[in-house]
């Protein structure tokens, strides 16, 4: 790990302006980057691997008194960015009213990691691409812009079939983000210019030719919270995660599904895919294909096919197209049978 300056944030807006400013003021050895430290389960891991090298680390866990609470009302769900994954996963109202959110968290990482990791840090976790994590590989456009991509013709079994570019095919690894996508969540951000709110779907960027730029956040931007609007679909929702082992593993394919059914017919379906795409991925065309129809094997398979219509498999990840489709089918069929 490289040396860094450590400090503790005192408030969201002061932290944001300090970090935005330190991006203009070289601190150590010409390195300008600064990172917030929340649970540290992504940041410290990648700093030890020398993949991330911040010159300054600002500890924001001390902001949890203001940005660490959960509020559930009829106007929806508000989650502070410093809420721990375990706290949201075990919250009885989230379990009952927003099961897809609770399940996506319960099925992620381990109990220890969920006790440490925050929701704000969770949505910003970095890819698990082995070439990205191992600095002995020189070609990784995400870690080292312009260096190439070792995964294109390498061992790409984990990699994405949706949203990839010739510059990067790394999978977005998280689970919770899929649930937020499906429920049309929004993100509260405090930046140097003040607070703003954006759709969660506008947080992550496709890799394109700049895979090292993963989000639309500016230097110093601090996520303070996430909001999830209410809707008739939130109760009839679930997260299905398919992986190499039963627990404590990232998704090979996953689906966050929420349904609004009336008389057995779909009024609105929401589908987001994990493990198969470069960003949290909403399958809107598949959702549209289900509108006005009942959920059965045929309609679900149709939607699944549409969801993967644009997929671009590589040598070792072609199985993800079939696996991802079956995941969508099973998730839809299961959601349709949930009690209202």
Partner 1 sequence: MTNHSDDERPASVSRRRFLGATASTAAFPLVGVAAAGQAAAQTMPPPDPQAPVDVKLSINGEMYRVGLDVRTTLLDALRDHIGLTGSKKGCDHGQCGACTVLVDGRRTLACLTLAVAAQGREVTTVEGLARADGPLHPMQQAFVDHDAFQCGYCTPGQIMSAIGCVKEGHAGNDDAIREYMSGNLCRCAAYPNIVAAVRQAKLQMEG
Ligand X SMILES: Cc1cc2nc3c(=O)[nH]c(=O)nc-3n(C[C@H](O)[C@H](O)[C@H](O)COP(=O)(O)OP(=O)(O)OC[C@H]3O[C@@H](n4cnc5c(N)ncnc54)[C@H](O)[C@@H]3O)c2cc1C
Residues binding partner 1 (CB under 8 A)? 1, 3-10, 13-15, 17-18, 21-22, 24-25, 27-28, 37, 39-41, 44-45, 48-49, 55, 59, 61, 86, 90, 109-113, 115-116, 192, 247-248
Site for ligand SF4 in 200-229 (CB under 6 A): 211
284/87 Cα distance (integer angstroms): 30
Verify binding: residue 107, ligand SF4, rule CB under 6 A.
Answer: no
Judged by CB under 6 A, the residue of 109, 129, 187, 252 near ligand X is: 109
What is the rounded distance in angstroms from the CA atom of residue 119 to the CA atom of residue 226? Answer: 8
Look at residue 10 and give its three-state secondary structure.
Answer: coil
Span near ligand SF4 by CB under 6 A; candidates 163-171, 243-251, 265-273, 279-287 = 163-171
CA distance 135 to 67: 35
Residues 124-143 that bind ligand SF4 (CB under 6 A): 127, 129, 131-132, 140-143
Sign of CA dihedral 197, 198, 199, 200: negative
Token pair belonging to 237: 């929702």
Question: For residues 190 and 13, is the Cβ–Cβ distance under 8 A?
Answer: yes
Cα 143 from Cα 131, distance rounded (Å): 9
DSSP states along 149-182: BTTTTS--TTS-SBS--SS--PPP--SHHHHHHH
| From the list ligand SF4, ligand X, partner 1, none, partner contacted by residue 275 (C-beta under 5 to 8 A by kind) | none
Q: Rank residues 103 and 325 by Cβ distance to ligand X and give the closer one.
A: 103
**CA-to-CA distance for 112 and 166, rounded, in angstroms?**
37
CB closer to ligand X, 131 vs 250: 250
Nearer to ligand SF4, 103 or 278 (CB): 278
Binding site for ligand SF4 (CB under 6 A): 127, 129, 131-132, 140-143, 149-151, 168-170, 211
């Amino acid at each position: 790990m490289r040396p860094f300056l450590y400090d503790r944030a005192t408030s969201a807006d002061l932290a944001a302006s300090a970090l935005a400013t330190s991006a203009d003021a070289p601190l150590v050895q010409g390195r300008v980057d600064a990172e917030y430290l929340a649970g540290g389960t992504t940041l410290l891991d990648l700093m030890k691997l020398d993949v991330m090298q911040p010159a300054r680390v600002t500890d924001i866990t001390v902001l949890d008194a203001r940005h660490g609470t959960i509020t559930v009302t009829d106007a929806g769900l508000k989650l502070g960015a410093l809420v721990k994954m375990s706290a949201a996963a075990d919250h009885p109202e989230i379990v009952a009213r927003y099961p897809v959110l609770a399940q996506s968290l319960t099925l992620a990482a381990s109990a220890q990691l969920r006790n440490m990791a925050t929701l704000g840090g969770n949505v910003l976790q970095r890819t698990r691409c082995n070439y990205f994590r191992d600095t002995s590989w020189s070609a990784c456009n995400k870690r080292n812009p312009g260096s190439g991509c070792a995964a294109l013709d390498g061992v790409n079994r984990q990699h994405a079939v949706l949203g990839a570019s010739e510059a990067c095919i790394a999978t977005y690894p998280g689970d919770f983000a899929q649930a937020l996508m499906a429920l049309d969540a929004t993100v509260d951000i405090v930046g140097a210019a003040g607070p703003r709110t954006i759709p969660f779907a506008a947080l992550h960027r496709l890799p394109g030719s700049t895979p090292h730029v993963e989000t639309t956040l500016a230097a110093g931007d601090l996520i303070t919270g996430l909001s999830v609007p209410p809707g008739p679909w939130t109760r009839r929702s679930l997260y299905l995660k398919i992986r190499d082992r039963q627990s404590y593993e990232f998704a090979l394919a996953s689906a966050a599904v929420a349904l609004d059914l009336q008389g057995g017919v779909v009024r609105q379906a929401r589908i987001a895919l994990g493990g198969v795409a470069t960003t949290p991925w909403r399958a809107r065309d598949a959702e549209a294909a289900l509108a006005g129809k009942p959920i059965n094997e045929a309609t679900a398979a149709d939607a699944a096919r549409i969801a993967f219509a644009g997929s671009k498999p590589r040598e070792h990840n072609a199985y993800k197209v079939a696996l991802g489709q079956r995941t969508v089918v099973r998730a839809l069929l299961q959601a349709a049978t949930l009690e209202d």
